[in-house]
Amino acid sequence: MNEKDMLNLKASLTMPSEMTDALIKKCDDSHRQHIGCTRSGRFRSLCAAAAAVFCLFAAGTTSFAYNVYQEKQLAVFMEADLSREEIDHIGQEITRIEEISSCQYISGDEAWAEFKAAYLTDENGAEMTGLTASFKENPLADSFNYRVSVRLNADTQAVREQLGRLPGVRKITTVREAEKSAGTIQ
């Protein structure tokens, strides 16, 4: 592997640059030490370089898998004035979509509990009751939604469009989009 190939590999990685630089330097140093060595020395160098590339690839695929997971998990929010029957009907319609592997209803109370656990706890994980007690009622009561998992081989955008056509659906987000707007109430 030449220097150009190493730089291209480095540019495509999704790991901290310091770790990437250290691994590439180690491979490059190892390669330079063994130039002109015996055939077994070259074989060991090749094996070490292959192992380093495999490690770099494995770290990159972990990040890729996490990104795929985020894009394949959707939250389907509904209009606040729907009856329980209408909400249940939307859930039934969602489960009929072939590209969806799971569908779970999250009530407004569950959404508020998740929000408090994620954003209103101290470094020890204890609820900051001074903040949460200031709310007289659940500010996320209308944030009931269905958490939907889209099959890996499915087109998530097409599924989003299909979900958006269901009567009563007001918003569809991915995990990544929800994290970006976490400070706003749905």
Tens of pLDDT along the chain (186 residues)?
A: 556 655 554 455 444 555 556 556 665 565 555 454 455 566 666 666 666 666 555 555 444 444 444 568 999 999 999 999 999 999 999 999 999 999 999 999 998 888 888 888 888 878 787 777 888 898 888 889 999 999 989 999 999 999 999 999 999 998 677 666 655 544
Integer-rounded Cα radius of gyration of the chain: 24
How would you class 97 by CB atoms within 10 Å of its CB: exposed for 0-12, middle for 13-18, buried for 19 or more? middle
DSSP 127: B
> Distance (Å, rounded) from C-alpha 153 to C-alpha 48?
35
Q: Give the global pTM.
A: 0.57
The pLDDT of residue 27 = 56
